Amino acid sequence: MAMPHATFWFSRPFKDWIGQRSLTLHWEGQLTVRDVFQRLADEHPAFRANLPLPSLEQGAVDLLAAVIMDGNLLSLESEVRDGATVDVLLPLSGGSASGIPLDRWSGPAPRSRSRSATSWYRSHRAGAAARSGDDLAAG
């Protein structure tokens, strides 16, 4: 039986830190987003240098990355499914939570920002595929 796998697509700056636009990871058992980040940190020093280590906290990661699979924003504990395409993007900037500017927000990412990131992601993927003529929006 083949090992589970998923393809990860990276926007900048993640692409620069990893040295490639996409990669396919294989694993045994289950794989969470936290596992993916730890694996990337172990294998790519520039990625590790930009992660809030030694322990990854959801609030810090929310300010660093929007990890999206099947149009859904994932948390660190979300499981990556076999055969998935997962996008790792910068979260949207701007906006506020309950009137608090996001640059002063110390809690977890507000839900409204998460929904707008997902909406932006869907329209961005469709627009990028239309402009380039590739199947970026598929999957």
Instruction: Give CATH superfamily name and number for 5-132.
Output: Beta-grasp domain (3.10.20.30)
The verdict on pTM exceeding 0.85 is no
What DSSP element (H or E) covers 132?
helix 111-132
Q: Above pLDDT 70, what percent of the chain?
A: 66
DSSP 30-76: --BHHHHHHHHHHH-HHHHHTS--SS--HHHHHHH-EEEETTEEPPT
Residue-wise pLDDT tens digits, 93-104: 554 444 444 444
Residue-wise pLDDT tens digits, 9-59: 999 999 999 999 999 999 999 999 999 999 999 999 999 998 887 788 998
